Each structure stands twice: as C-alpha cells, then as structure tokens.
Amino acid sequence: QIQQDQTHQNRWKRRYEELKSRVEICGNTRASNNIPSNSSPGISVGEKRHSYEKYQNGDSSILTENRIQALNKVSLESEIHRIQAWERNYRELVNFVREFGHARVPQKSPHSSLGRWVVEQRQNYKRYLKGDPSSKMTADRILRLNKVGFEWE
C-alpha cells in the first residue's frame, strides 16, 4: 500500500510539472502541438473535476488542500498569460491604427498574426452577444476596441 501511494504521488507530481510546463510554453493548460509527442497530457480537466468532487464529498481522492492550491496557482498563471497576450495584441492593434489610420488588419503578411487575433476578437464578440460562456470577450474589451475604431463585421 505504501509503495502504491508513493507511485501515485510521484505520478501526480510528474503530471503537475508537465501541466506547469504546458502553461509556460503555451500559456494555457489545453493540449497543443508545441508540446513534445512523448509528453503525457498532464492532469486532465476531467480527472481534476472528478478528483475534486471526491475530495469535496470527503471520499478518498488524490487531491489534497496543497494540491488544490497548486492547481489554482497554475490556472492563475494561465489566466495571467492570456491577459498579457490580449494586452500585447491590443497594443499592436493601436500601433497599426496609428500607422494606417484604420483597424482593418489584413490576414496576410506582415500582419498575419494580428490579423488572426482580430478575427478571433470578432468571433469572441459574436459568442459574447449570444451569451456563450466560452467567449473571452468582456464589456471592457469591447469599449477599448471600439475606442480604436475596431470593425466588428
């Protein structure tokens, strides 16, 4: 039993470190092609939810208070990375508007990355209007994008 517990603990630590690495590399906890193919998917969302439900119910679970805090820290780091990426792209859009006088960013080079981001903002906006919780759009972002003359269509 002790050896089995140690094996589970080592497995959890290894997968937690992989999850942290994923956030450092990709900025989120989702699977990505940027992760080496020999890497396991880390701690899956389903696994976390199931273990957390067991923990909340007082059942035997791989989660402990320390592990929950560690996972929350990784989620926070992932969220911070997403916010920083949005801010970086927004600043790039502001610079584009200053240079070209409009926010119609072409999806072809040399602005292809910003062009893809603009398309993503439009998609998020449509989901936001429908009340889709998967939208990353917020009222503040809409105001800021409108301020620079963003075109939603």
DSSP characters over 27-89: SSSS--TTS-TTS---S-HHHHHHHHHHHHTT---S--HHHHHHHHHHHHHHHHHHHHHHHHH
Of residues 24, 31, 19, the one with CA closest to residue 67: 19
Q: Is the four-CA dihedral 56, 10, 20, 35 of positive or negative sign?
A: negative
Give residue 39's pLDDT.
47
Q: What is the pLDDT of residues 53-86, one digit of tens each?
A: 666 677 777 677 777 777 777 766 666 777 788 9
**How many Cβ atoms sit within 10 Å of the Cβ of residue 62?**
18
Chain centroid offset of residue 134 CA: 11
Give residue 79's pLDDT.
66
Residue 28 pLDDT exceeds 80: no
Give residue 48's pLDDT.
64
pLDDT band for position 22 (cuts 50, 70, 90):
low
> C-alpha dihedral over 87, 92, 93, 94, to 10 degrees?
90
Task: For the chain, give the mean pLDDT.
Answer: 78
Radius of gyration in angstroms for the set of CA atoms belonging to the chain, rounded to a whole number: 20
Phi, psi angles (nearest 5°) of residue 127: -65, -40
Give residue 76's pLDDT.
61
Judged by phi (left if over 0) then psi (alpha if -120 to 50, else beta), residue 149 lies in left
**How many Cβ atoms sit within 10 Å of the Cβ of residue 27?**
17
Q: What is the pLDDT of residues 95-124, one digit of tens each?
A: 999 999 999 998 886 878 999 999 999 999
Give residue 21's pLDDT.
73
Please give the Cα distance from 101 to 96 (Å, whole number): 8
